[in-house]
Structure formats: C-alpha cells, structure tokens
Amino acid sequence: MTQMVDIKTVPTTAEYRYGRGWHCLGEAEQYRDGQIHTLNIFGTRLLAFAADEGNISVLDAHCPHMGADLSTGELVNGRIVCPFHHWEFEASGRCAAIPYCKRIPPKAKTRKWLTKEVNRLLFVWNNPEGKAPEEGVEIPHLPEIDSDEWDHDWHLDLMIIETNPRELVDNLADAQHFGPVHGTPTKYFANVFEGHIGEQIFHGDSERLGGDLVAESAYYGPATHFTRMRAEFDGMTVESILLNCHVPITPDSFELRFGVLVKKIPGWSEEQNRELALQYVQQNRESFYQDVDIWKTKVRIDNPLLAEGDGPVYQLREWYSQFFMDEADVPAALKERREIVTVAK
C-alpha cells in the first residue's frame, strides 16, 4: 500500500548537479502493470516501464526526433510508441521502427539509465559524469526480505518535500533533536563514515516506539538510508527495518519514500502479526512526520553555529560533499574509516 502525502507544489529551478549514487524509485512490482510511468526527477523527465519479460527500463522521456514526451505515448508489444510521429522505442532506448521510413537513423535512440532491483525495490543510478558505479558501491541485500519471519510489505509512503535533500541527510549526525522532536532523549550516539557509507548508532527510550530503543542505520550513498531497530513495545521485543530514501526533483525539492518492515511475533497468527505491523508502522510514520514538519518551515544554514554535543554535522557534510564532485576529485581521506562518539554511555 502506498499513501500519497502532497506537502507543497514543486517549483521550477535552474540547472543543478545532482548527487552521484543509487536512488530508490519505490517497489519494483508497481512498474509491472503494463503502463508507462512518468518520473520527474533529476531536473528532467524520465519514464519507466516493464517489457513483456518483466524487466524494468528507465529511459529519457523526450523523443530525440522532435522532443515529444514519450511518457505520454503508448506501450505496445513491449515498445514505447511516441505520441507525435509514432516512432517506436525498445527497452534499450533504441528506435526500432518508424512508420513512414524503412531506414532507422543510427542515432535514433534515447538514453537508458542503469537500474537494479534489490530488496523488492527499484533503484536508478545517477552520475553526472556518465560512469557506472565503482566496485563496492551498491545497495546491500537485506536477508530479512526473504525470511518467513518478517512481514514483506514495506508499507511505503510517498511525499514531496520542498527543500534541499541535505536537510534530510543532516539527521544522520544530529544527536540532539531526538528528545525535543521525538520525545526520545539520546543515551548513546555515534557516527561512522567510510567511503560511500555513513552510519549512525542511536540508543534511547521512546514513548512512541518503545523502551530500550536501539537503532543502527546507514546511508549507502547520498540518498538511500536503511535503519535496523529494536525496542520493547507493549511488553514485546519488536524488530523493524526502516527505509528512508529520496530522489531529487529540483535543487529544492525531492520525492521521499518512507517504509517499514516488521518482524513477526512467534506463535502469533498472520492476522495478529499484520495488526501489530500496521500499528508499529503508524507509530513510525507519526515519528518521522515530526521531522517533515520541521523541514517545511526551516531555512538552509550552510555554516551552523554548533554547541558541544550537537554531533559531527560538519564531518557529515564533508562526507556528503563527495557525491557532488567528480570522482577523481574525492579526497582520499573520505575513503578512510572515521568513528565519532557524540554521546557516550
């Protein structure tokens, strides 16, 4: 189930360099519905569709012929048919047929974006340099997604947030907002930065999500964030995995997908576990939306005035900056492991 939450109207902005990395487009299965899906992301328009064999392709949406929007065309026999002159494009992006011409121009193709499916989710790779991911730059497989001990429904919410994505990523190093915003004072807080991965370890007590809360999370690149959580909730130990991922639309707006997986309670019926999952998902939603309310009205501060115990905000932003520069310019130091404990036990 996907719940749509429209925060604000998306503005039009100037050209901007979007982060290098894998970006989540939601659950893969939703694209296997025989339809063309319009994607307004990375400051442009793309389209996604599944060919007859079920493989999902993401293509530039504007026809190289005369610029028509291919996402408003038709999907016929696994090909995108342009609404303007009925040129037909294969899943590879190559034009395969022109109704009034036997010879297809060699350059008649639209860009195909690199995609992959992991954890029942569809990801698209963005790199302004046009290069494939370096070795090891990937989205990790979550073994829980294949386990019968876990509910496999992500319970995804999709919303539009009208701000720069850095506001969201800043939370990875913000040790002191948990108490004021979420009612979960921090008992232990640490960060680890190494290469394309930025981690957070949090311990606290939450009125909403349960006592003895332990949350271990990581960004894999600039936009995909998984959190493993464990807490005592209604007298039970509840384990969950949170998905918090975004895709930029413009420099000052992004699509944000938030989802939760919940581990089943042994001995409970499917109905009981489903009810627990929905209840816990709702508690997580309400907690997460407290952050959303802050982002809606705050302003961007490039050089924040920090106090002792705030967390390594500057170190986080240094780590984050690597995704917005050429790979050859990324400092070697950012590949080294850095551990920072902000709140000790």
Spatial distance between the Cα atoms of 226 and 238, rounded to a whole number of angstroms:
17
Does the pLDDT value for residue 6 go beyond 60? Answer: no
Domains located in the chain, CATH noted: 29-126 (2.102.10.10), 143-343 (3.90.380.10)
pLDDT of amino acid 161: 92
Does residue 8 register a pLDDT over 80? no
| Residues 24 and 247: beta-carbon distance below 8 Å | yes
pLDDT value of position 152: 85
Q: Grade residue 5 by pLDDT with cuts at 50, 70 and 90.
A: very low
Indicate the residue type of 296.
K
* pLDDT beyond 90 at 64: yes
Mean pLDDT of 130-136: 96
Report angle CA 9, 11, 13 to the nearest 5 degrees.
170
More confident residue, 183 or 249: 249
The residue-averaged pLDDT of 227-236 equals 84
**For position 207, what pLDDT does the model report?**
67
Region 335-339: mean pLDDT is 96
The pLDDT of residue 13 is 45
- Yes or no: say if 46 and 61 are a contact pair by the CB < 8 Å rule: yes
Per-residue pLDDT, averaged over 167-172, amounts to: 94
- In this prediction, what percent of the chain has a pLDDT beyond 90? 72
pLDDT digits (tens, 9 = 90+) for 103-130: 999 999 999 999 999 999 999 999 999 9
pLDDT in tens, 267-311: 899 998 888 888 888 888 888 888 888 988 888 899 999 999 899
Euclidean distance between CA atoms 230 and 213, whole angstroms: 6
Q: Which residue type does 237 have?
A: T
pTM of the model: 0.91
Average pLDDT of the chain to the nearest whole number: 91
Residue 280 is given by DSSP the state H
Residue 254, Cβ density class (10 Å: 0-12 exposed, 13-18 middle, ≥19 buried): buried
Average pLDDT score over residue span 26-51: 96
Compute the 3-state secondary structure of the chain and give helix, strand, coil in percent, each to the nearest 5: 20, 40, 40
Hey, what are 155's tokens? Answer: 């319970």
Query: Closest Cα partner for 227 from 188, 262, 196?
Result: 262
Distance CA 72, CA 39 (A): 11
Q: Residue 42 pLDDT > 80, yes or no?
A: yes
The pLDDT of residue 12 is: 41
Predicted confidence (pLDDT) per residue in 68-89, tens digit: 999 999 999 999 999 999 999 9
pLDDT at 11 over 80: no
Q: Which two three-digit tokens encode residue 100?
A: 């009034």
pLDDT above 70 as % of the chain: 94
337: pLDDT confidence band, cut at 50, 70 and 90? Answer: very high
Closest CA to 65 of 41, 39, 92, 83: 83
Residue 79 in tokens: 């090909």
Q: Among residues 252, 197, 221, which one has the least CA distance to residue 324?
A: 221
User: Residue range 44-49: average pLDDT?
Assistant: 98
Among 61-65, 95-99, 216-220, 283-287, which stretch is predicted with the lowest mean pLDDT?
Answer: 283-287
